[in-house]
Structure 1
Amino acid sequence: MAVFTSVSLDDLGPWMTQFPLGKALAIKGIASGIENSNFFITTEAGEYVLTIFENLDFEQLPFYLKLMRHLADRGVLVPAPIANAQGELVVALHGKPAAIVSKLDGSSQMAPQPQHCAGVGTMLARMHIAARDFSIQQPNLRGLDWWRVTAPVVLPFLSDSNQQLLRDEMQYQEAFASSAEYAAFPRGPVHADLFRNNVMFDGERLTGFFDFYFAGCDTWLFDVAVTVNDWCIDLDSGALDLTRVDAMLQAYQAVRPFSDEEHRGWQAMLRAAALRFWLSRLYDYHLPRDAEMLTPHDPGHFERILRLRTTIAAPELP
């Protein structure tokens, strides 16, 4: 993620003594994304990831870290949070909440093929099922309530055409979220940000999902739509690649079959997923925060995706 809070090896050394990982040997900032400060750290026990949370507080963080532990204990491939000597998963560093998790093997697959999409679909369905009995409830903090607050803030920065697109889509999503069909969607904890850079592969073997810090309780279909809108598209145009879409959805369906209501609401969720990331990118682009390594994403990418999802019928769920 972008580095908002700097951490040196001298800073890290004394702080690390509370963890069962030995001496800190090296630290390197990770310059991707725009939410938290992430670092690769090397210790005498191996390689890990340190995250300093810039927006989430100490009260919110147990949901994310305990969810990751819950999933790991049930065979879902996610980073394992490391507790300190007092059993705490979240500890202050430079006055901000921080956590250490295990580092996954492999690398991100930025040019996914159908077999990669199938692997993601299988693991996403397994994640949803495994999280059904997770006891902590927390809403998706970038869901409809956040859209309602954020849309008026970014609206003045938009062209007339984009203002109309945003108003129309907000009206559509408000209406759909009030429908009986939406209320019947299966739901539970979701990743909510499962982009290509948040999944690791070793060749064609999926080695893990990470960056759960947008997770929350929402509809599972929204999570699928977010994932399809990144993994199964042509990046230049935003158009769906039907072969990759089919591979991901068939693999997901084989583990967790879609409901009748989900079949009928699929297009609406693809639109919702596009709107969510268009809004967040608009906000980050027009109202940026200072950071040592910050590269806001182009909001035009998800504008294009949203326009396509509102005008071209998506392939049906299997």
Structure 2
Amino acid sequence: MAVFTSVSLDDVQAWIAQFPLGDAVALKGIASGIENSNFFLTTELDGRRTEYVLTIFENLGFEQLPFYLQLMRHLAMRGVLVPEPVPTRAGELCVPLHGKPAAIVSKLEGSSQMAPGPVHCAAVGAMLAKMHLAGQDFPLHQPNLRGIAWWHEATPAVLPHLTEQETHLLRSEIHYQEAFHGSDLHKRLPQGPVHADLFRNNVMFDGARLTGFFDFYFAGCDTWLFDVAVTVNDWCVDLDTGVLDEARVRAMLDAYHAVRPFTADEQAGWQCSLRAAALRFWLSRLYDLHRPREAEILTPHDPTHFERILRERVAHPAPRLFA
């Protein structure tokens, strides 16, 4: 999240009339993240105030957004804890604001758990498995827009900014992932809608109780194993070294496996998927650092964090998915 597009409370007060939410009484920009403009929006209807999240989409167009917004509604209707988009009186989930697509979704309770223990990782693993199963019958399809096709597009843009060692790592890992993604093993991996960005700051907790997943705007269809790898690479690592904490890894994988058992093919592709997940975020952070966009509030992420994680995954195998 970030703020690229300026919006005033006066702007929103006129715009929100198309929603059955009452009057807009407060608006506050959200500083975290780097993709869209996000705001906490407070409305008042019949004397009751309710807080929502307003998102203005900076990169996604009207033709792409139905996948994300309808996926969230689909999951919410099946008991997965996600924000639910609020339709307009005409039933639209996304309408223009300052000429850009915008949507309102419900605000989750709780706060992000930035120092997770095994209990938090187990809760995330179980809910992620539930999310994957709930998405099996989702009728829309969109590829992971930050998958291997994007890696090929982004690599030439960042290579001029890299050291010799970084260049070697990036080129060699791209070749490794090309072989993996083209293999029969990869084709056999279970697939469906994935969150693809389930970091600590995209999950809410109230104590040890998980209250929801949010920020689905990198979602797409990919292997479920890639989604698990993205999640493990953030929730289960030492942030200074990228080394996996086996207790947290085991808690997350065991909880996931209890809801949606991993397959033998997933066991075989696990190490490759962890490397793919690390490469995806190293490359995107390099791209965002060296090809920045202007924003009123923008906090770029350090790409070296995922470079460390990638090197660690190459050098040391992670715990197995299951015994």
- 2:234 aligned with 1:230: yes
Which amino acid letter does the alignment assign opposite residue 238 of structure 2? D
- 2:52 aligned with 1:48: yes
- 2:209 aligned with 1:214: no
Q: Give 1:3 deviation, angstroms.
A: 0.3
SS at match of 1:174: helix
Please point out which of 251, 267, 290 is paired with 1:247: 251
SS at match of 1:206: strand
Q: Identity of aligned pairs, percent?
A: 72
Q: Which runs of 4+ in 1 moved over 4 A?
A: none
- 2:287 aligned with 1:283: yes
Please point out which of 277, 292, 311 is paired with 2:315: 311
- 2:156 aligned with 1:149: no
Which amino acid letter does the alignment assign opposite residue 255 of structure 1? V
Counterpart position of 2:175: 171
Alpha-carbon separation, structure 2, partners of 1:232 and 1:314: 11
Which amino acid letter does the alignment assign opposite residue 6 of structure 1? S
Alpha-carbon separation, structure 2, partners of 1:129 and 1:178: 25
Which amino acid letter does the alignment assign opposite residue 268 of structure 1? C
- 2:93 aligned with 1:95: no
Counterpart position of 1:32: 32
- For these two proteins, the number of residue pairs brought into alignment is 318
Q: Give 1:180 deviation, angstroms.
A: 0.5
- 2:69 aligned with 1:57: no
**C-alpha distance after superposition, 1:58-85 (max 9, x if no partner):** 0000000000000000000000100001
- 2:203 aligned with 1:203: no
Counterpart position of 1:77: 81
Counterpart position of 2:7: 7
Q: Give 1:305 deviation, angstroms.
A: 0.3
SS at match of 2:18: coil
SS at match of 1:44: strand
Q: Give 1:164 deviation, angstroms.
A: 0.1
Alpha-carbon separation, structure 1, partners of 2:288 and 2:142: 24
Which amino acid letter does the alignment assign opposite residue 29 of structure 1? G
TM-score (norm 2): 0.98
Name the Cα RMSD after superposition. 0.5
Structure 1 unaligned blocks of 5 or more:
none
Alpha-carbon separation, structure 2, partners of 1:313 and 1:58: 42
Which amino acid letter does the alignment assign opposite residue 300 of structure 1? T
**C-alpha distance after superposition, 1:86-136 (max 9, x if no partner):** 100000000000000000000000000100000000000000000000000
Q: Give 1:152 deviation, angstroms.
A: 1.2
Alpha-carbon separation, structure 1, partners of 2:162 and 2:2: 25
Alpha-carbon separation, structure 2, partners of 1:154 and 1:253: 37
Which amino acid letter does the alignment assign opposite residue 196 of structure 2? A
Q: Give 1:153 deviation, angstroms.
A: 1.0
Alpha-carbon separation, structure 1, partners of 2:244 and 2:156: 29
Which amino acid letter does the alignment assign opposite residue 33 of structure 2? G
Which amino acid letter does the alignment assign opposite residue 254 of structure 1? A
Please point out which of 290, 293, 298 is paired with 1:294: 298
**C-alpha distance after superposition, 1:235-280 (max 9, x if no partner):** 0101000000000000000000111110011000000000000000
Which amino acid letter does the alignment assign opposite residue 191 of structure 1? H
Q: Give 1:2 deviation, angstroms.
A: 1.1
